[in-house]
Amino acid sequence: MANIETQKQYEKVGRLRKPVAEAIGRKAADIYIDQNHLRHIFNKHMDDLAQLGLTPKIFVDLVVAGFNRIYKAKRQSLYLVMQNGKLNVVVIEMNFAFKKGFYEVKTATVMRNDFFNNKELLWEKKKK
């Protein structure tokens, strides 16, 4: 695998750690986002993020650092969800890039809680 941090189009935003990865039957690996996906988030979801006072990059960083649920998305993708008990949740969608050896964030947005009513919950952080 090439040294991803030397490729300027990608930026590391976190890691899916081993205990969580094992709990959902996935590989522990770093999480990256590329500039094209940051542009997509800005172009498609900026109104929602602006209401929160966040840039796309800060939004992604926040969710990766603080997600408390993981749901199965389409194909092999995952939703990292930061649930706060209110009507809306913040979400990033990512998939594992097998040839690159890391998870890649595809999009990030604010969603209604009921979006996940028919989604498979893979992992939930234990409440303290």
- Give the tens place of pLDDT for each residue, 87-126: 567 788 899 988 888 999 999 988 888 888 999 999 999 8
Residue 111 burial (C-beta neighbours within 10 Å; 0-12, 13-18, 19+): middle
Whether 5 maps to a domain, the answer reads no
Domain ranges, residue 67? 10-122
Please state the domain count of the chain.
1
Q: Per the structure block, which two tokens stand in for 61? A: 């960083």
Whether 2 maps to a domain, the answer reads no
CA distance 128 to 45: 32
- Give the tens place of pLDDT for each residue, 26-76: 999 999 999 999 999 999 988 888 888 889 999 999 999 999 999 999 888
Whether 60 maps to a domain, the answer reads yes
pLDDT number for residue 2: 45
Strand ranges of the sheet holding 10-16, from the earlier edge strand across to the other edge: 10-16, 29-34, 102-112, 88-97, 78-82, 69-72, 121-124
The percentage of the chain sitting over the pLDDT mark of 70, rounded to a whole number, equals 91
